[in-house]
Amino acid sequence: MSNIKYILGSFGDPDEMMHGIEKLQENNIKIHDVYTPMPIHGIEAKLGVKRSRLDIAAFFFGITGTMTMLTGVYLATVVDWPINIGGKTHFALPDFIPITFELTILFCAFGLVGSYYASTHLFPGRAPRVMDLRATNDRFIIAVDAKENTEHTKIDELLKGAGALEVKYNERKYISYE
Amino acid sequence: MSGHNESILREPLITGKNITYAQITDDILLPVENKPNRAWWIGFIISLCGATLWVVAVSYTFWFGIGAWGLNKTVGWAWDITGFVWWVGIGHAGTLISAVLLLFRQNWRNSINRSAEAMTIFAVICAATYVVSHMGRPWLAYWVLPLPNQFGSLWVNFNSPLVWDMFAISTYFSVSLLFWYTGLLPDIATIRDRAEGMRKKVYTVLSFGWTGNVKTWQRFEAVSLILAGISTPLVLSVHTIVSMDFATSVIPGWHTTIFPPYFVAGAIFSGFAMVLTLLLVARKVLGLENYITMFHIESMNKIIILTGSIVGVAYLTEFFIAWYSGSEYEQYAFINRSTGPYWWAYWMMMTCNVISPQLLWFKKIRTNIAATWILSIVVNIGMWFERFVIIVTSLHRDYLPSSWAMFYPTWVDVSVFVGSIGLFFTLFLLFLRVLPSIAIAEVKLLLKSASEQAKLELIKDGHLDKEQVAEYVESLDKFDSVKQEEYAKI
């Protein structure tokens, strides 16, 4: 066995890369991941990435904001320190709609982005797990686990046949670590 | 993505020959990865002088109190709130471009959203400094927050539009920052993977470990869409609430229900003008003519005509309603605006905001860079006067004629305003140096469908309606970055 850990097919064109994914899948070769410099539409269906549930999370974060503000204002203006302003009701709901709306948006946005960062492991200072430095520039990279898929020459042929400009054999999983 | 071709009738969003993905990265990162040129240094030094003036003027205000400003008992609110509303309004175009145009699937937003959002953030920073510096005791600025305290707890007045405004502006600022920074992650990763040494370390921390794998991209798009969906009502609410600072009072000239929509239209109007002021210079100095094309400029000019006309209709409506209301105080406020001691400010506003933008109906003018740039500055001036007119002319005639007064700014008033412009440009120029001014990943999405070269391929292939091709080629006439000779051969 060689020390090759990952085989990378480096494509210059997103359509050719999609073709490469199809080729590999037709031959029952499991794809580890795909790294691209821009979002590729339709790729998640091919690779079986599940639909995001972030929208549901966002809704509940938003509702939490709504409830927080309404509760907070109620506690402040009715329970803790009611003020008689011309005999008007203490809990003057129409007045609190703007701030309730703002807090809904605030909670929704922070909750949503926080969940996104947490679910995709993004945080300041995280060591980037990069397999090919050009994947954020002009190359579309298909990564195949070389230990699981042992027919290396076949993978090579399939990738090149689909239009890969280059096929790399990485002995380290991530090249970005020093 | 590229399953089908875009209609040939649509004008290209990326021009130029032999543009590749690598070329896009190189072009956009040119100012980030190289030493700045002379134009940048000249601009930066001038802006820095302005920012220094701002620091001096604001420190002076903090030290001596707001008596340093030209306010008097009658006009207790003048340049500070004018500057605040002006800056907040300018900020609105960034969110409009990044959120509303995303919801409407306007692809031309892709190359201008990044710098417009940066502009939003810097404009809101400038606006926020006015809020803090006009407080008189800025070290007690946290009193605007509903924090538990030892006075009772004594809470803020949740019925006050000024408290709503604090919630609106801080939410707006932080949500815009989130939206902007999340969008920046893939592009920061691009810089990181090309950098060496210390630069690489810094951009590694900033990139949050972005790799561009499938799941991250898919979630990224979901997040962008939801953020756009919540930012759209947010941006409308922010200027609505700013307008309520005035509209919920009982001052003649302020107490009108037209304020919210009229302020929102005005905000978008001034924001787009500021985007044009900045980008027309940036595209030239940074050599981004292929990405920010004449189509982008013309589209923004069309939005300026629309919103400028809405603002014009609002001015006339206000006048009509003042007459129709039968309220003599309201009527006097408006007659006084246009013919009283501040008539020059009123007509300055009318000319700059309503009359001169109508010139953009002429295609020759809206596709002329110099004319567009001058008009965008005229709009900015006009929008400053709009706020000045609303605020000062309504206040300077108090209920008692014995209290009638005029407002004369002091050097501190002028310096805080001029200085805030300096601060804004300092931040913007620094942004151009350290972060990509165009969303690299989003522009790459357009390369295969909406670029001039992709469309040229389609034309060369044949199969297209001759009339449509002729119309397309004709539409390229106005582009300063397209050579017509190429098309003459076909």
| Whether residue B116 sits in one domain with residue B12 | no
Which residue in B92, B168, B174 sits closest to A69, CA to CA?
B168
- By Cβ distance, the residue of A41, A103, A113 closest to B1 is A41
Does residue B451 register a pLDDT over 90?
Answer: no
Selection from B16, B27, B51 nearest residue B428 by Cα: B51
Q: What is the DSSP string of A70-99?
A: HHHHHIIIIII----STT--SS-HHHHHHH
Exposure b/e, B303-321, CB count within 10 A at least 16 = b? bbbbbbbbbbebbeebeee
Q: Is the pLDDT of residue B43 over 70?
A: yes
Tokens of B135: 């407080």
B182 and B72 assigned to the same domain: yes
Checking if the pLDDT of B4 tops 70, the result is no
Residues in chain B: 490
- A138/B193 touch (CB, cutoff 8 Å), yes or no: no
Q: Is B1 on the interface with A (CB under 8 A)?
A: yes
Mean predicted confidence (pLDDT) in A57-74: 95
Residue of A nearest to B216 (CA): A120
Output the pLDDT for position A178: 55
Q: What residue in A sits closest to B163 (Cα-Cα)?
A: A99
| Mean residue pLDDT across chain A | 88
Residue B7: predicted pLDDT: 82
The residues pairing with A6 across neighbouring beta strands, listed in sequence order, are A145, A170
Mean pLDDT of B312-325: 92
Q: Of the candidates A130, A137, A178, which has an alpha carbon nearest to the alpha carbon of residue A8? A: A130
Same domain membership, residue B126 and residue B6: no
Q: Which pLDDT does position B3 carry in this prediction?
A: 52
Average pLDDT over residues B90-95: 87
Domain range list for chain A: 6-50+129-170, 54-119
* Residue B482 pLDDT grade (very low, low, confident, very high; cuts 50, 70, 90): confident
- In which element (H, E) is residue A170 found? strand A166-170
The CA distance from A52 to A47, in Å, is 14
Contact B171 A137 (CB under 8 A): no
Tell me, yes or no, whether B462 lies in a domain. Answer: yes
A117 vs B contacts (CB less than 8 Å): 208
Cβ B438 vs Cβ B28: under 8 Å: yes
**pLDDT digit string (tens) for A26-55?**
888 888 889 999 998 888 888 888 888 999
B77 neighbors B69 (Cβ within 8 angstroms): no
User: What is the count of structural domains for chain B?
Assistant: 2
Look up tokens 């579309």; give the residue: A140
pLDDT in tens, B202-225: 999 999 989 888 999 999 999 999
Q: How many CB pairs under 8 A join A and B?
A: 198
pLDDT of residue B474: 82
pLDDT at B361: 94
Q: Peptide bond preceding B415: is omega within 30 degrees of 0, i.e. cis? A: no
Mean of the per-residue pLDDT values of chain B: 89
For residues B75-98, average pLDDT = 89
Q: Which of residues 162-181 of B touch A (CB under 8 A)?
A: 163-164, 167-168, 171, 174-175, 178-179
User: What does the pLDDT read at residue B225?
Assistant: 92
**CB of B223 within 8 Å of any CB in chain A?**
yes
pLDDT digits 0-9 by tens, A90-128: 898 999 999 999 999 999 999 999 999 999 999 998 888
Quick check: B339 contacting A, CB < 8 Å?
no
Confidence of residue B413 (pLDDT cuts 50, 70, 90): very high
Q: Per-residue pLDDT for B48 more than 80?
A: yes
- B49 and B99 in a single domain? The answer is yes
How far, in Å, CA of B65 to CA of B129, rounded?
Answer: 15
Output the six-digit token pair for B272. 């787009």
Average pLDDT over residues B266-287: 90
B2 with B138, same domain: the answer is: no
Contact A95 B154 (CB under 8 A): no
Which pair of structure tokens corresponds to residue B212? Answer: 């561009």
Q: Which of B171, B185, B213 is nearest residue A33 as measured by Cβ atoms? A: B213
Contact criterion met (CB below 8 Å) for B277 and B463: no
Q: Which of B67-81, B132-146, B455-469 is least confident? A: B455-469
More confident residue, B11 or B343: B343
Shared domain check, B9 and B143: no
**Which chain B positions have a beta carbon within 8 Å of A17's beta carbon?**
none
Angle at B167 between CA B161 and CA B169, to 5 degrees: 95
CA atoms within 13 A on the CB side of B203: 23
Residue of chain B whose alpha carbon sits nearest to that of A13: B21
Residue of B482, B474, B274 lying closest to B383 (CA atoms): B274
pLDDT at B1 over 50: no
Burial of B4 (0-12, 13-18, 19+ CB in 10 A): exposed
3-state helix, strand, coil in chain A (%, to 5): 50, 10, 40
Q: Given pLDDT bands bounded at 50, 70 and 90, which one contains residue B490?
A: low
**Domain-embedded: residue B372:** no
Rounded CA gap, B252 and B230, in Å? Answer: 34
B327 DSSP assignment: -
Q: What is the pLDDT of residue B238?
A: 92
Listed by number, the residues of chain B in 97-156 with a beta carbon closer than 8 Å to a beta carbon of chain A are 146, 152-155
What are the chain B neighbours of A49 within 8 Å (beta carbons)? Answer: 214-215, 218
Domain that residue B64 falls in: 21-297+407-447
List B residues 203-222 in contact with A (Cβ-Cβ < 8 A): 204-222
pLDDT of residue B12 exceeding 50, the answer is yes
ipTM above threshold 0.85? yes
Give, in words, the CATH class of A6-50+129-170.
Answer: alpha beta
pLDDT in tens, B51-78: 999 999 999 999 998 899 999 999 988 8
pLDDT number for residue B18: 83
Chain A residues touching residue B223 (CB < 8 angstroms): 54, 112-113, 116
For the four alpha carbons of B101, A113, B32 and B211, in that order, the dihedral sign comes to negative
User: Are the Cβ atoms of A85 and B212 closer than 8 angstroms?
Assistant: no
Contacts of A92 in chain B (CB under 8 A): 159
- Percent pLDDT > 70 in chain A is 98
Judge whether B226 lies within some domain.
Answer: yes
Residue of B nearest to A105 (CA): B230
Q: Is B210 found in the same domain as B116?
A: yes
Q: Give the sign of the dihedral formed by CA B220, CA B224, CA B225, CA B230.
A: positive
Residues of B in contact with A129 (CB under 8 A): 209, 211
Residues of B in contact with A138 (CB under 8 A): 20-22, 25
Segment A150-170, tens digit of pLDDT = 888 888 888 888 888 888 888
Confidence of residue B2 (pLDDT cuts 50, 70, 90): very low
Q: Determine contact: B325 vs chain A, CB below 8 A.
A: no
Q: Which residue has the higher pLDDT, A117 or B463?
A: A117
**Best CA proximity match to B386, nearest among B482, B486, B243, B194:** B243
Chain A closest-CA separation from residue B384 CA (Å): 26
Contact B96, B268 (CB under 8 A): yes
By the CB < 8 Å criterion, does B182 face chain A?
yes
CA distance B8 to chain A (A): 21
CA–CA gap between residue B137 and residue B132 (Å, rounded) = 8
Q: Is B182's CB within 8 Å of A116's CB?
A: yes
